[in-house]
Structure 1
């Protein structure tokens, strides 16, 4: 009995430490801290980009997968999340499994700078300006004409298609 209790306590401590580590890992990353996107904001993103069942939504730095879950469940889209943090990947995969969306959403534990984005019809980003500027050449090279790009809170130096002031969302269309 004592061994079981010790193992449970050890497991709780390890999980706690992993959660704390995920808040700061990688510590020198300039791309983005863990900023969650709410379900309400995710709905606004999907409405702004006119997401439908014909779309493949990519989320770069997909965190816990909320935006992809909303896009799949409420708008019928397929989703690809690219996330480098292993704990966030695990959390998002569990949420997707709980929502029974494993046939519609894939989460990749990768660096989005190393992934091919050409199949996307919609791309969502919540990244700091430095990351957006570094990402811009890749987006212009890989995204097809007409692909919709939504950025939360930060501008990308591209022609703006639409601005949702209430939600601080910017829509761009690749031309």
Structure 2
């Protein structure tokens, strides 16, 4: 098995979990926050997808789908167009809302497909390519892909936790 095959499988698990969290929830449930400082399911899924879109586009030389396919306009958030949610305050988290899960899943699925297209074409040697020299040591493509994977799995797990609490109420 090649490293790219492991990555394709792992990123597929993110998509499966995103669908499991979002499907069947109302807009009120998706946008609900357990308290004034908590992240909503909407924010968590939007953020993990934005980070994946941003980081994979940067590492692959592709365009962010958020901008290239007008997802920013479709969401209509009152945030800067390149915002990924990193460092959001509670008031910024509150701005990330949807009318249904279809928008979240549509964006996530588009980013997922672009990610898989990139991963399937990877050569194992490319994983050693430096993609970010602002860190010490510099970040390789392999490290970046695992970092995004880890971040996304943590956030979808948080979203599943919020879903469980909301459904238990």
| TM-score normalised by L of structure 2 | 0.29
Greater RCO (Cα-Cα under 8 Å, separation 6 or more): 2
Larger fraction in helix: 2
Structure of larger gyration radius: 1
| TM-score normalised by L of structure 1 | 0.29
